[in-house]
Amino acid sequence: MPVHRLPGVVVTDHVLPVPLDHAVPDGEHIEVYAREVVAAGRDAGQLPWLLFLQGGPGNRSPRPLGRDGWLSRALEDYRVLLLDQRGTGRSTPATRQTLPLRGDAAAQADYLRHFRADSIVRDCELFRRRLVGDDSRWSVLGQSFGGFCAVTYLSFAPEGLREVLITGGLPGLRASADDVYRAAYPRIQHKNAAHFARYPEDADRVRDIARHLRDRPAGLPDGGLLTLPAFQALGRMLGFGSGSHVLHYLLEDAFVAGPSGPVLSDSFLSQAQAHLSFAGAPLYALLHEASYGQRSVSEEGTRWAAERIRGEFPAFDADAALAGDAPVLFTGETIHPWMFDTDPALAPLRETAELLAQREQWPDLYDPARLAHNGVPVAAAVYHDDMFVDTVDSLATARSIRGLRTWITDEYEHDGLRVSDGRVLDRLVRLVRGEL
């Protein structure tokens, strides 16, 4: 196990072989990686463990540069384990480069059905037994999708949990993918309205860019294509605390003068690619809608829910907006089939994505009856104006988990844990301990 010393912390690598299918423990195994972080000078001490579950799905855990942000607050009380959930980071990867080793698209889709929250939780339990011991519990901090995983953990393996902290990640226990996006589009529209109220000049800029891309989709530096729908997908930024400002600065110098008239600048295209490419997290696109699949809620596949439900909200029709005087609206955390045509990191996985979208009978991820009798202390931050996770669903789930204490705040957006310099985590720690 390699050990490294960074400013203020000691970091230790851990790699654990786990079954691809936990129902077949003697079958094929993959590797899951995790990084242990402890405050310098306390690495030999006895500290409770805190497992961090990252948002996503499909994002690797944070890479610590030292003692800063929420991690600094966590290290006051815990030995922290940053998990690269299966398929991400240094765990056995699942990308356009590696998935063809599984075989054809059907084989790839069958492989990826084991990469949802239920399998992630079982991986966590194997790590707990290895690092903490069969008879000891650990704490869990779940951000966004990591909070979804934490609720799955409470549903199926609460015996391993000492306490649970959740930020922006209380899922709808009985919400289908259709329900999720039917609630999401009005929130996204509200974020658009707030952005254009803050930066009214952006309405014309967005229309100019949209009109240009409608007629002339632009090539991106990685070989991808910036189409009008892809441009609208930049609205995912609006769900973060500084996202509206970042988007504004991206838009303000979108055009430069070319020999034949205005063209989209290389700077704009490069920045747009950085926000749109799934090269670093292809599982996010492949499994995002599947993360809502539960057979007891809907036996059908998710069937590109965000794309289908978008048709119920004509305000997001950019062509119609350009034909009149309505603003061209951005979308948000929505995955669409065209992404597998325009993004080189996803294009080879188009058929695999289609099979996952049509897959039926996804196993349930939550056990409402068990959650109603929960005995694990839980505290959750619910962001009042969260664009990514529906507040109504979150509060209903909070009421459904016995003993859960909720902090509702409009001080932060979905990224409150990351940007609050430890204040969000400190509040949850004090809440779960009964100090507030």
Cβ atoms of 130 and 160 within 8 Å: the answer is no
CA distance 113 to 273: 28
Spot the catalytic one: 118, 178, 202, 386: 386
Residue type, 367: D
> Would you call 144 a catalytic residue per the annotation?
yes
Q: Are strands 255-258 and 261-264 parallel, antiparallel or unpaired?
A: antiparallel
Cβ partners under 8 Å of residue 310, min gap 6 = 181, 185, 316, 331, 334
CA distance 430 to 110: 43
Spot the catalytic one: 139, 144, 277, 394: 144
Hey, which residues does 6 pair with through a beta bridge? 9
CA distance 406 to 390: 15
> Would you call 212 a catalytic residue per the annotation?
no
Joined together, the tokens standing for residue 261 give 């008239």
> Would you call 400 a catalytic residue per the annotation?
no
CA distance 398 to 405: 8
Cβ atoms of 48 and 78 within 8 Å: the answer is yes
> What residues are labeled active site?
144, 386, 414
